[in-house]
Structure 1
Amino acid sequence: MKNATFQLIRCLCITLLLISQTSAKQPSNLGAPDRHPNAKIAIVAHRGANNIAPENTFAAAKFCHKWNLDFIEIDIRTSADGIIYLIHDLSIEKFSDKKISFNKLHSDQIDQIDAGLWFDDKYKGESIPRLRNFLQWARGHIKVYIDIKDVDPITFIQIIEETKMSDQIFYWSNSEKIIREIRRIAPEYQLKMNAHSVEKLIEVYNQYRPEIIEVRAENLTRPLIEKIHSLNMKAMVYTTRNDEYAFSRAIQLNCDMFNTNHPRNLINIEHDLLSQQNHSNNQKHN
């Protein structure tokens, strides 16, 4: 009996795992979602369309452009010979069995890495993009949120200027040194900082005077969003979860941006919510 119960539980676990793996990836033939005419929230695709194509690649970025999204979020690191690339992890184990840090590799080695095969066979041959090449493509296609992991600020600024993207990006880094250096040299670049409370917001505002404040969905409150707006900053909500409540709450609180792994679902919820509001308003006038 115990063995039969164990086998049943094992089968259920395998089934649930397969379902979750299937649902995590969406079909790649999806057209542009239908945004409501009154849509206001700017949609930021976290690492690109990362449930359809491998994150931080041209493939993931091109879906964002195809879907008419507002921003794509990318992560950047520097190679051993000083070339800046789009990659989130310091380890390259996702792409290779080599146990070596990304920043120990030279650009000629990085350019040979297959950044797509781990995700799906159809993305075999997808490369790790260089930041310069990516921004040259992005200009005129989509705006970019840049999460700076490890770069030389001077080199970063040179690339932004040479690709003429200074008015089409905003950035953040976990390194206070990098933020302060970029802020000193290029104060016109829009900076994003994080805050989980009104008290933290005021602290961050006094230190950096950022243009954008990111709030995690679990910390989303009306007083915090209202305070962000009162200081003439934009409020960006962030969650990697497919969180319908967070999507709806952000729209209802008039948040300016949403950083999400599920842009299409956010658009659908936004469309339904705004349609309901329009219907309700029409009934009141009638």
Structure 2
Amino acid sequence: MNSAVRIASVNVNGIRAAYRKGMDAWLEPRGIDILGLQEVRANREQLDALISSDDWHVALDEASAKGRAGVAIASKLPIIAQRTVFGADDFDSAGRWLEADFERNGKLFTVVSCYVHSGEVDTPKQEEKWKFLDAMAVRMRELAQARELALVLGDFNVGHDERDIKNWKGNVKRAGFLPRERGYFNRMFGELDAEITGVDESVGPGLGWVDVGRAQAGDVDGPYTWWSWRGKAFDNDTGWRIDYHAATPAMADLASNYVVDRAAAYDQRWSDHAPVVADYAI
């Protein structure tokens, strides 16, 4: 195992399809210690057939609808505890929020695999996304208060600012880059308990989490993590940065070697998302 804990996240767009297209060729040599997966679209038996229990400890939260969503965490470290409780009792978050606790060198830390709804403007899908983002803000505040070292990984389905989408001007009225959506992210990554004004002019307290990808990459476009299968989006790097490592400040201080594992060529992709990887010196 690395001296640091190598943690990765990827929306696999169906893990059985991803494995058929070569996901294992990426995973085996990459030295991943903890892997957050989104849009697994598989049951326990199907997942276990791909990720060996001899090598990995695996937690899975299936979606209510068969073959949809689904989040998982696979780890070389034992999983001490896991939780899926999220949002109001009448809100179906199954397959979208999975917490796992770990211990290393006497330190407890929590990793969450999160899959936010894609949404669609002026439809019930967007209403579900608002509910999820509301619940996410509440839970992330609770989590940061309970655990100094915590990391929320996953496909958040929102580009935070103009650097996160190649064609941002053409997407300001589409789900994934709506001002109201981005307001949640202004608060998520805003100073803890400071009054934060979002791009949509909403006002609320900052949650104090750190966007590890932006902190490590700096003031650059991207690096993007998702590209449409259609047209020349991948070849032209017309992408979106919607896959995140969101860390508590203490966890972010331990981060290094952040990288997006973009495929070398279009025909070598095994998902429309690329894995996001970083090392944490726990």
Could you tell me the TM-score, scaled by structure 1's length? 0.32
| Structure exhibiting the larger radius of gyration computed from Cα positions | 1
Choose between structure 1 and 2: higher strand proportion. 2
Choose between structure 1 and 2: higher helix proportion. 1
